[in-house]
Structure 1
Amino acid sequence: MPPSLEGPRRGQPRRNQTGPENASNAPPTQPIDPNITATIHQIMSEMLPSLVAQTVEALRQSDDGEDPNLVNQPSETQGQGTDTGGNSQEIHLWLERFHKQKPRVFILAATPVDAEDWIIHLEKIFRVLGCPDHIRVELAIYKLEGDAYCWWHVWKQAHTGVVDIGSLTWEEFKELFYQQYFSNSDKDAYGREYATIRQRDDESISDYMARFLRLASYAGIIAGIASYQTEKFKWSLNGKYRSKLINQNFTTVAQVVDAARNIERERLDTIQFKGDKDKKRKHDGSSGSFNRFKSDNSDKRRFGGSKFSGSSQSITSSNPSVTTPPIVCKECNLPHRPSPCLRMTGSCFNCGQRGHLANWIKSKLDKACPDYS
């Protein structure tokens, strides 16, 4: 019986056609170029943050009841910004980068200097991140809190329809901010202070330099060129520094500061050395008084309770406000008041009179001190 030409019956598994006899019909395989693989990975890594941000924003919009398809459509004011944040995706990305720099919030300014310091702090972050102009305004408004945000809210309500708040530039925002927290009258006051600036007695060189340079920045063209500022800084120093620098020539304020700091360090070292020396002298004096007290007591015991130690007490009793401690005499090697030594003058060691001696001193004179007991 001839073989059947029909195919495999229904229900029977088809035989594998990839055996050795059909190996020649398989398509050839080629290795993938590693450069192409690296390029694909790089493109995907760059697109992944954007895709994640778009997905998160779409989910947020859907939760709010908005159409997620409108999230990625460019708005008419994209690139200009609006008062409510402009393009939400762009603001979201810039806000994330901005928060990583840990910017300070602004609530109120105790002094006008605090307001300017906050603006300078934000501009440093904006310059590093490369923020566009309209994004700077949005991020600065985001960091206003308390009284500062109330001021901005009131100003925005008062100028709605009069000023295009959505197209407000960074320079315009700074001008509005300074009108509120750093007015022209404040700048004029700092300029007048710069004109009559002097270093205070309790002000260090570093503190005075910081105050001088800050006031010079407020004074503007009134501060003068570098050589004028150098001379003004030198002549406005305290007399204890100016007297040593007056005949020296400097070209910059930094040179004057460096020389004045050396004088300041020398003065501090001298004061510290004198303080240590005075402490040592007091310590030596207290220990010396204790030793003299022991010597006086030993002398009393030695001479049988004589009135020898009363020589120093007589000075105190005559003038209670003045107390002169006894010193050890180089002639008799005994402590007595600062007066001519009685042994050298031939006077009595008890009463100080001449013509007799104390009976506890061996002498050829027969007359003893009548005050001795």
Structure 2
Amino acid sequence: MAPTTSKRPIAHQDESLDVCNEDCRRALRDPEALVHVATRLCKAFTNRPSVYAGQAHSRSKFDQFCRLHPPMFDGKADVMEADNWISRLEKIFRAIDCTEEQMVEFATYNLADVADVWWIYTRKLIKQELGEETPITWTRFKQVFRDQFFPEVFREAKAREFADLRQGDMSVHQYSLKFIELSRFAPYLIPDESRKAQKFERGLHPQILDRLIALKLRNFDVLVDRAMIVEEYLQSREEQFDKRKRKQQIPKQSLSKKPFQSSGQMPPQNNKPQQNATGQHAMCQTCSKVHRGKCLMGTNTCFKCGKLGHRIRDCQDDQRCG
């Protein structure tokens, strides 16, 4: 079925089209005028903006936004996550060049759960204040969003934490990452590159600071690099000092003395009784008794008769003894 053409005029038709319609009636009597009218009609329709051009452009931006995998926010996470969510979205918006109105529309699309319910009622209040025809700017959205999910009292606490930040037990690398993370809450403390480097330098460990302060490094990246080099040198020197200290604590005799290696036999013992200065027999080191001759402890030998196979308590009744 062939499509039918409506004869009802379009409400938003340009005035140039009305002039062309009048010229068309004259062109029926003049062929040259007909060509002129046709040319004017083509220009009128070409220069006239499409009704769906704005919608198509907005849809294209939203597709680009979705392809960059923007994060969702449900309002249940830590307060720091709220600020991180805003930062990640703004990075995406800069990449696809969004308008203020698109930024608000795309951001609120990625709200969920508690955050989504909050925005439904907050949007109504803002529209009552601004009017339905006035779009909500991204600046206004960030203001109400942070007041709800990233309150000022928390931002001030983070600013104080940055002001008091020191390296302490952290490595230089960990300290630099913490410095960068907290610096966004107090940018007024580091208004330029030189102030930023000075702030970082003052928080370094004293041993590192002593070796860098005379250099007057005023570039943050260069300062961090030099601080890491000094830190590595100090750690290497400390390890060498600990090795020398451990060697000095080991007795010199134990280094030359060979350790006893067990072969399943008892170490040789001196079984001969020793005599003291008076000529009397000293206490035996094996049985802790005073006796003459070789000690028979542990040899399964009779202490009385010196024969094998019986003990001394059986010696009087045993025929083998004597």
| TM-score of Structure 1 vs Structure 2, range by shorter chain | 0.5 to 0.7
* Alpha-carbon distance in 1 for matches of 2:87, 2:272: 84
Following TM superposition, by how much is the alpha carbon of 1:276 offset from its aligned partner in structure 2, in angstroms? 8.6
Give the 5 Å matches for 1:4-23.
Answer: none
Which residue in 1 is equivalent to 2:141?
173
Following TM superposition, by how much is the alpha carbon of 1:106 offset from its aligned partner in structure 2, in angstroms? 1.3
* Alpha-carbon distance in 1 for matches of 2:118, 2:156: 24
Which residue in 1 is equivalent to 2:44?
none
* Alpha-carbon distance in 1 for matches of 2:246, 2:107: 57
Give the 5 Å matches for 1:237-276.
Answer: 237-269=204-236
Deviations 1:143-187 (A, max 9, x none): 111221121112123344333466112222222222222333333
Amino acid paired to 1:197 = L
Report SS of the residue matched to 2:260. helix
Which residue in 2 is equivalent to 1:113?
80
CA contact (8 A) 1:137 1:173 kept: yes
CA contact (8 A) 1:109 1:115 kept: no
RMSD (Å), alpha carbons: 4.1
* Alpha-carbon distance in 2 for matches of 1:193, 1:249: 25
Give the 5 Å matches for 1:195-274.
Answer: 195-201=163-169, 203-269=170-236
Which residue in 2 is equivalent to 1:139?
106
> 1:162 aligned to 2:129?
yes
> 1:293 aligned to 2:279?
no
* Alpha-carbon distance in 1 for matches of 2:270, 2:265: 10
With over 3 angstroms needed to count, the CA separation of the structure-2 counterparts of 1:146 and 1:298, relative to structure 1, is: same
Which residue in 2 is equivalent to 1:123?
90
Which residue in 2 is equivalent to 1:370?
282
Report SS of the residue matched to 1:293. coil
Following TM superposition, by how much is the alpha carbon of 1:101 offset from its aligned partner in structure 2, in angstroms? 0.9
Extract unaligned runs of 5+ from structure 1. 1-71, 80-86, 282-286, 308-349, 357-366
* Alpha-carbon distance in 2 for matches of 1:294, 1:110: 64
* Alpha-carbon distance in 2 for matches of 1:278, 1:138: 67
> 1:96 aligned to 2:8?
no
With over 3 angstroms needed to count, the CA separation of the structure-2 counterparts of 1:141 and 1:371, relative to structure 1, is: same
TM-score (norm 2): 0.58
Following TM superposition, by how much is the alpha carbon of 1:266 offset from its aligned partner in structure 2, in angstroms? 3.1
* Alpha-carbon distance in 2 for matches of 1:306, 1:95: 102
CA contact (8 A) 1:191 1:219 kept: yes
Give the number of equivalent residue pairs: 232
CA contact (8 A) 1:217 1:223 kept: no
Give the 5 Å matches for 1:273-288.
Answer: none
* Alpha-carbon distance in 2 for matches of 1:110, 1:151: 15
TM-score (norm 1): 0.51
* Alpha-carbon distance in 1 for matches of 2:263, 2:210: 52
Deviations 1:33-62 (A, max 9, x none): xxxxxxxxxxxxxxxxxxxxxxxxxxxxxx
With over 3 angstroms needed to count, the CA separation of the structure-2 counterparts of 1:369 and 1:235, relative to structure 1, is: farther
CA contact (8 A) 2:158 2:185 kept: yes
Following TM superposition, by how much is the alpha carbon of 1:297 offset from its aligned partner in structure 2, in angstroms? 9.2
